[in-house]
Amino acid sequence: MGNRELGCHRGLRALRLVGSAGNAGTTMRTNRRRPPRCGRAILMLALAAVLAACSGAPAGDPAPATTITPAAAARPERGGSGGEAPANPRWDKYHTSAEVNTSLAAWAQKFPTLTEVYSIGQTLRGSPLMVIEITNKATGSAADKPGYYYDGNIHAGELTGGEVALHFAWYLLNNYGRDERVTRLVDTRAIYIRPKFNPDGADLALTSAQTLRSTPRPYDQDGDGLLDEDPPNDLDRDAHITQMRVPNPDGAWYVSPDDPRLMLRRPGAGGGRGGGGSSPQPPEGTRFYDVVSEGIDDDGDGRVNEDGVGGIDMNRNFPRNWGLEFEQSGAGPYPLSEPETAATVAFLSLHRNITGIFHGHTSGGFVYRLPSTTAWSNFSAPDQALILEQSARYEETTEQAAVPSYTNPDVHRHGTLISWGYWDFGVIGFVPEFWGGMGIDYDEDGEISDLERLRYHDAELERSYFTEWAPFDHPELGPVEIGGWHSKFVNQNPPLELLQREVELYVPWMLWLAEIAPQIEVTDVAVTAEGDGTFRVRIDVVNSGYLPTNLTQRALDAEIAVPVRAIAELTGAEFVGGNGRVDIGHLRGTREGGGPGAPTSSTGSAELVVRATGDNPMISLAVVSERGGTVRRRLPLR
């Protein structure tokens, strides 16, 4: 919801209301007196201490003063166990990070030849950043195979990202040996899956009414020198942050005559969301309202919900084109200031076999493609074509749109993961925004209206995701009504009943992204005796994969791409010239195309001359491609 002046008529002091979904800048006046603040402050400080002790937050980094109600923790979408076997998760619920980690451990035990599970770091609160590595160890180590990186849930409330990643791991493991495509992928690729990029923030979003995007690291969002002191408040204790409709003759909203749950925007009122819907001219005598996020002014500064839990946006914290706070809200004090982002760059940098990044978010039902933090014109023509080709496969498999993350040269994102991934790591990444919403176009006019969405909700979801408007005596605003959608599980993420369909939708594209990697094969090794104990060794190789071994033109231009190399070690022999390392160069894949300096052939070879110096001379060969895998051979010299 956008900024808007409410101009309430009540009288005494101004109160600025800021909604959890960004409805900042709403000003009201009230003649209600606030209750005494000291008791509430003491209670909030005590709660912060308890949360810090329970979570392991380090000294000097207190947990936020947020209320986690028993009702919130007990709701099924909040992660209740409900008869779930860890190795076979349910896909009609959202999982806590503890449940995710339990599933990862169960898979490591059930599939020991296909998995490794490990932590790549810790959050500020000491939670492990867990990754499951999936490959058939019998066909080689993960480091010797082309890899792909998948994650989800970097933004705390975007829970579907974690479920898509968790489901993909389950899908690969449970279909290995049953599905030819999955079996071939796991035999020849290394899959790195990190379901919970942001475990602390995700758990807070899942197990409480709080709405947040960041980790729970305290952050001063309103510039008053205080940290997290004014989060949204679940005033009606329904375990959700919904909305308040406040009577105001000059308000921008009125109740729909077709359904009293729906708020319509007053014609000419402009800006923001408060309930949605079309705006016919209201009849004479219509009562008008301001619609704002549920909460109160916790810190007494005249504003509401303006400094909630956390505030650093980790997908603005990566080094490429990072921006200061005035350029990019939530970017953090410096690039990679957060342990989660620093661990990500370290992990990717140490796993040079990774050929792409799948960075799962919500919502909207589309995928963000490059460019992300800089103009499209800065990309080479070959890389533009490759980005569009991979985007087109997304559109084909999901029937959803692919759109550029960067669209405005004056106002654009800073410090995103996929931008760093391309410019500094040389791979193409995507940000799928899962969940395009619910409803049926009952009147077949080509659009799903808010009324149709309510009708679908009532018929298919048992009216479970909407709090009916109910009177509430607000301590600052007087009589209001509280109600509305449970936005976290309707707008931001799918309702439970629709979650499985959502997580299954992306599997074909996720498989394809890993399948198109370069793949080095050794087609022949010939050892020719030349007399006097001297041997000529020739190694012939081919890239049988789709992409070239350099992946992108950017990797060539920035000298990120390492050429394919043949590396030899000898036993009972010595090299005749050279040191046993021969650059073969980059190899084109089966895909056509390429720019200046790009490989033109998919085959290559290397030759070595060696001399036997002892009995049973042997040569150990490794053909190494950072992105295309490593092939090893050991044979006698004779």
% of the chain residues with pLDDT over 70: 85
Q: How many CB atoms lie within 10 A of CB 497?
A: 14
- Tally of domains within the chain: 3
- Give the tens place of pLDDT for each residue, 10-60: 222 233 333 333 333 333 433 333 333 333 333 233 333 333 333 333 333
Distance, CA of 103 to CA of 97 (rounded, Å): 10
Domain boundary among 515, 548, 569: 515
Average pLDDT, the chain: 86
Q: For the ranges 108-122, 135-149, 307-321, 445-459, which has the lowest average pLDDT?
A: 307-321
DSSP state string for 356-415: EEEEEEESSSEEEES-SSS-GGGS-HHHHHHHHHHHHHHHHHHS-EEEES---SSS---S
Q: For the ranges 14-18, 237-241, 383-387, 610-614, which has the lowest average pLDDT?
A: 14-18
Q: Does the residue 53 lie in any domain? A: no
Residue 72 confidence class, pLDDT cut points 50, 70, 90: very low
Same domain? For 283 and 373 the reply is no
Domain boundary among 452, 481, 515: 515
Distance, CA of 379 to CA of 376 (rounded, Å): 6
Interval 281-303 mean pLDDT: 90
Q: Tell me the CATH number at 428.
A: 3.40.630.10
Same domain? For 185 and 277 the reply is no
| Global model pTM greater than 0.85 | yes
Alpha helices in 197-307 (DSSP H): 199-207
Same domain? For 347 and 235 the reply is no
**Direct distance between the N- and C-terminal alpha carbons of the chain, in angstroms, rounded to an integer:** 76
Interval 426-452 mean pLDDT: 96
Interval 514-519 mean pLDDT: 98
Distance, CA of 510 to CA of 516 (rounded, Å): 11
Q: Does the residue 58 lie in any domain? A: no
Q: Does the residue 61 lie in any domain? A: no
Same domain? For 326 and 377 the reply is yes
91 Cα distance to chain centroid: 18
pLDDT of 298 reads 85
pLDDT of 43 reads 29
pLDDT of 336 reads 96
Same domain? For 445 and 379 the reply is no
Q: How many CB atoms lie within 10 A of CB 285?
A: 5
Same domain? For 121 and 244 the reply is no
pLDDT of 119 reads 98
Q: Does the residue 51 lie in any domain? A: no
Q: Tell me the CATH number at 537.
A: 2.60.40.10
Same domain? For 148 and 279 the reply is no
Q: Does the residue 171 lie in any domain? A: yes
Among 345, 363, 367, which Cα is nearest to 431's? 367
Q: Give buried/exposed letters for 386-406 (b at 16+ CB in 10 A, else e).
A: bbeebbeebeebbebebeebb
Instruction: List C-alpha distances in Å: 622 to 368, 466, 629.
Output: 38, 61, 10
Q: How many CB atoms lie within 10 A of CB 235?
A: 18
- Give the tens place of pLDDT for each residue, 310-355: 888 999 999 998 888 888 888 899 999 999 999 999 999 999 999 9
pLDDT of 412 reads 75
pLDDT of 270 reads 63
Q: Does the residue 39 lie in any domain? A: no
Q: Which range marks the domain in which residue 227 is found?
A: 13-31+220-308+439-490
Same domain? For 378 and 486 the reply is no
Among 553, 545, 548, which Cα is nearest to 515's? 545
Distance, CA of 356 to CA of 86 (rounded, Å): 29
Same domain? For 431 and 316 the reply is yes
* AA letter at 258: D
Distance, CA of 471 to CA of 492 (rounded, Å): 26
* Token reading at 251: 């308000």
Rg of the chain on CA atoms, in Å: 29
Distance, CA of 430 to CA of 404 (rounded, Å): 10
pLDDT of 16 reads 30
Q: Does the residue 445 lie in any domain? A: yes
Interval 420-436 mean pLDDT: 98
Higher pLDDT, 20 or 153: 153
With H, G, I as helix, E, B as strand and everything else as coil, classify residue 618. strand
Same domain? For 457 and 527 the reply is no
Looking at residue 143, the DSSP 8-state letter turns out to be G
Same domain? For 503 and 367 the reply is yes
Given a cut of 90, whether residue 443 has pLDDT beyond it is yes
pLDDT of 60 reads 32
Question: Nearest 5°: CA angle at 278, between 277 and 281?
Answer: 130
Q: Does the residue 255 lie in any domain? A: yes
Given a cut of 70, whether residue 475 has pLDDT beyond it is yes
Given a cut of 50, whether residue 89 has pLDDT beyond it is yes
Same domain? For 273 and 329 the reply is no
Residue 556 confidence class, pLDDT cut points 50, 70, 90: very high
Domain boundary among 462, 480, 515: 515
pLDDT of 103 reads 98
Interval 395-420 mean pLDDT: 90
